Amino acid sequence: MEMMAEARAEVRELGKRATPARLTTLLFLRSQARPASHAEVSRALEPLGFDKTTVFRNLNDLCEWGLAQKSELGDHVWRFEPSQSGSHRSKHPHFVCVDCGTVTCMDQIQLTRGSLETSRDIGKVTEILLRGHCNDCN
Amino acid sequence: MEMMAEARAEVRELGKRATPARLTTLLFLRSQARPASHAEVSRALEPLGFDKTTVFRNLNDLCEWGLAQKSELGDHVWRFEPSQSGSHRSKHPHFVCVDCGTVTCMDQIQLTRGSLETSRDIGKVTEILLRGHCNDCN
DNA sequence: TAAGCTATTGCAATCGAATTGCAAATAGGC
DNA sequence: GCCTATTTGCAATTCGATTGCAATAGCTTA
Ligand SMILES: [Mn+2]
Ligand SMILES: [Mn+2]
Ligand SMILES: [Zn+2]
Ligand SMILES: [Zn+2]
């Protein structure tokens, strides 16, 4: 498959071994519309014969190597999503519904000039997380 | 003590029992400049003879009753802080340093008009969390 | 393409925060 | 002071995250 060959090349590029578990984990993340928890990825890959711990380690390794990103969205569970390939490889904002737990990836959320100054007094903002009630939940 | 009598009144006002563990927990939160984790509160109260689980339950009860707020700031640990007494009892934004873990309470962080519209398409934002590198850490 | 070295895997065990069950203690109304 | 519903203390449990270690399997090299 096309995707698989591509993933293999990317992993090899980093000097890492292109194992089936690793490539499948990466492909799975890329197939999802939203960040996936370790439990979700495992649930999908265990039936294929991949071990839960191996998945766990690969998820974290992929993050360490820049191929994926890990975020804590407020429910004490890590969620993983593939890094943006092209333009913005940086973290993007997320919206989490406190009612149904749905996570939405957002582009270009900006703070007002005043807020930006305020935040600069404290530090350099690298990540924005919004929480609230999604339109479906109200 | 003044604080204690005040706390007692507030708890009684809610129809709840003003137990030593409960009042001490509330006073402790109010003595802190930053949100405190359950572990931190327990560490402070256990030497005084209060049980870890009791502290845990009181922290959550206080939140349920509106006297405190609970947030997940990105490290898989709940943090508790007293509700603002006067003007804005609502949740305020926080900044968390991903390096040192320091949490800073912020006032009035606003999104740009455009971002606000974008977010409205998704849901009603009730909480904003900023993460990044604090000025002390660079 | 077979051997060898090392990264990776599988599985059991451990960790720690969060959560629960239940009997004993106690706050507050009477 | 008595009574009862609430709260507490302590042990046990849950569950995601994390680790140790021996077995396995990529990849490099000869
Ligand atoms: Mn995303
Ligand atoms: Mn705060
Ligand atoms: Zn929702
Ligand atoms: Zn810092």
pLDDT at B90: 67
Answer whether A103's CB lies under 8 Å from A37's CB: no
Closest chain A CA to residue B98 = A126
Note down pLDDT in tens along chain A; length 138 residues. 689 999 999 999 999 999 999 999 999 999 999 999 999 999 999 999 999 999 999 999 999 999 999 998 888 999 999 998 754 456 789 999 888 888 899 988 889 998 889 999 999 998 999 999 999 987
> Which among B110, B135, B103 is positioned nearest to A124, based on CA atoms?
B135
Residue B100 scores a pLDDT above 90:
no
CATH architecture classification, B1-83: Orthogonal Bundle (1.10)
CA of A73 to the centre of ligand 3 (A): 14
- Helical H runs in B33-112? 38-45, 52-64
Q: CA nearest A76: which of B64, B74, B57, B128?
A: B74
Look at residue B121 and tell me whether its pLDDT is greater than 90: yes
Task: Give pLDDT, residue B86.
Answer: 55
Q: What gap in Å lies between CA B26 and CA B44, rounded to an integer? A: 12
Taking the Cβ of residue B111 and every Cβ of chain A, the question of whether any pair is shorter than 8 Å is answered with yes
Q: Which residue has the higher pLDDT, B108 or A71?
A: A71
Please state the φ and ψ torsions of residue B76, each to the nearest 5 degrees.
65, 30
CA of A32, C1' of D14: distance in angstroms: 29
pLDDT at res. A88: 47
Chain A contacts of B114, Cβ < 8 Å?
108, 110
Closest by CA position to A79, among listed A44, A26, A31, A35:
A35
Asked if pLDDT for residue B127 goes beyond 50, the answer is: yes
- Taking the Cβ of residue B126 and every Cβ of chain A, the question of whether any pair is shorter than 8 Å is answered with yes
Superfamily designation of domain B91-138 = Ferric-uptake regulator, C-terminal dimerisarion domain (3.30.1490.190)
Number of Cβ within a 10 Å radius of residue A86: 5
CB-based contact B95 A132, cutoff 8 Å = no
Cα–Cα distance for residue pair A124/B8, rounded to 1 Å: 41
Q: What band does B81 get if pLDDT is binned at 50, 70 and 90?
A: very high
Substitution target from B69, B72, B103 for chain A, most A beta carbons within 10 A: B72
Contact B126 A138 (CB under 8 A): no
- Strand B123-134 and strand B94-97: the pairing is parallel
Q: What is the DSSP string of A98-121?
A: TTT--EEE-S---B-HHHHHHHHH
* Nucleotide closest in space to B8 (CA vs C1'): C27
Indicate the domain borders of chain A: 1-83, 91-138
